[in-house]
Structure 1
């Protein structure tokens, strides 16, 4: 999930920890690549499979669309025990230690007149009226507004039913077909579509800008009451960092270190 996935439910903490100690029960969206889907094709599916193997447990999912009510109807309803991709700072869940840091990114067509664009101050962007794709109410829009560039934007909706549509997929299609010239997307989504597109796309992480946060640390989310479970997951994250990093690299996730510099890890 991206950092825009706020207000997905209310906490109703209970003293219960794991629903079934023999099963890793994961809360997930059924149709939200690159993160998860019912076919197990997402990066969070792969991380879930790794964790289940390390825990010697079966793997099961509680699927629910990643929109309003997600936490309330999955984790807090005790249908599952962990959400695998939550930005630190989302107070609807108790976070584990973060397992990667990523940022929003600019996606452009390779060989276009925007080749090499790396930040939203690039003067070439100011000539692209209606040609910059932006998911509404996401942080890159704040920078564009400060720069007087919001009139250049073609907006795409933030709150959608992922079972039937995808703003990200629509935006990338529009980029591939030339209806827009740049797409501003959450990094893991940008990296995934660039990796799977038949059109060669460039992905440039958007640098941190004073007053507008671009980069976020991503953690697992558990119930506020589940202290032992959180500690167990933190141990798993520490022990399996290399394998988890490899999964992220395989999906094209643009990862940053704590200094904001790109982490270079080759996909396999």
Structure 2
């Protein structure tokens, strides 16, 4: 008997989810799995609009509280931590001189193109805006946020952060703000930002809370304020999942020691 599982996940989680699916098939035999990925906010909105999936994995636990609990999801599980990095490759303009102290000056050069994801579709997008706000404070550079925001025009804003890596490799972008795990998946070079900027360390949670981003809410007229917090990923089984039993097997596997090892191998810090 063939078992079925439909997974909707953040684009940034493509490799971890794929690796966990391979482990599932190795342990439980014939399982047919359908994977679909978008920005996390787009994923959550699809579930709100009636999309039926068995597993929902998002790049920010806040989205479950904001959009899905308790109507569509009873409970979610936070399973990993990451950070925002500035990724690039050897052909990126300015790559021979960029570092932790001068990255913003390189990005603001007229000939340099950098991108981010859309804050209303993808948590990496609003986290990037938070990183810019924190950088303005950390480096004591008044106006830095506005300068970066103005330079990163609409054509450099992507539906999901995963797509940024492809365009760096194709030369369409020189730099992009991404999760470390995604930069590693594309084997990109990256600048590690200070912990007070990169949203990586729960010990700095209070510091991160100084910044926020206003997003579109549940309806076109609504707005929601997202406050800075450490980068975390979460997973759940929606209430309307068609294959609850298989979903539970996958979730338990993902949260097990073997699953955590898979996540760690993909560059996440498992919880």
**How many angstroms apart in 2 are the aligned matches of 1:256 and 1:57?**
30
Unaligned runs of 5+ in 2: 120-124, 137-142, 200-206, 212-227
1:99 is matched with 79
Instruction: Say if 1:52 and 1:106 are closer, same or farther in 2 by CA, change over 3 A.
Output: same
Contact kept in structure 2, 1:96 and 1:234, CA below 8 Å: no
Candidates 46, 51, 55, aligned match of 1:82: 55
**How many angstroms apart in 1 are the aligned matches of 2:33 and 2:50?**
15
**How many angstroms apart in 2 are the aligned matches of 1:24 and 1:49?**
14
2:225 is matched with none
Instruction: Say if 1:128 and 1:205 are closer, same or farther in 2 by CA, change over 3 A.
Output: closer
What number of residue pairs does the alignment pair up? 209
- Residue 154 (structure 1) aligned with residue 134 (structure 2): no
What whole-Å deviation, never above 9, does each CA across 1:125-182 have from its counterpart, x for those lacking one?
235414462314322223424622232443422337x9xx9344224544xx8x63x4
Contact kept in structure 1, 2:115 and 2:164, CA below 8 Å: no
Unaligned runs of 5+ in 1: 1-20, 37-41, 259-268
How big is the shift at 1:81?
0.9
2:114 is matched with 133
1:14 is matched with none
More helix by share: 2
Contact kept in structure 2, 1:96 and 1:221, CA below 8 Å: yes
Instruction: Say if 1:151 and 1:246 are closer, same or farther in 2 by CA, change over 3 A.
Output: same
1:19-168 equivalence runs, <5 A? 23-28=3-8, 35-36=13-14, 42-56=15-29, 58-61=31-34, 63=36, 70-71=43-44, 77=50, 79-91=52-64, 92=68, 94=73, 95-109=75-89, 112-115=96-99, 117=100, 122-123=101-102, 125-126=104-105, 128-130=107-109, 131=112, 133-135=114-116, 136-137=118-119, 138=125, 139-145=127-133, 147=136, 148-149=143-144, 150-152=146-148, 153-155=151-153, 156-159=156-159, 166-168=163-165
2:261 is matched with 245
Contact kept in structure 2, 1:190 and 1:203, CA below 8 Å: no
| TM-score normalised according to structure 1 size | 0.58
**How many angstroms apart in 1 are the aligned matches of 2:27 and 2:193?**
32
Larger relative contact order (CA 8 Å, sep ≥ 6): 2
How big is the shift at 1:105?
1.2
Contact kept in structure 1, 2:85 and 2:190, CA below 8 Å: no
CA RMSD, 1 decimal: 4.1
What whole-Å deviation, never above 9, does each CA across 1:90-128 have from its counterpart, x for those lacking one?
22363542222112112245662114x2xxxx3452354
| TM-score normalised according to structure 2 size | 0.57
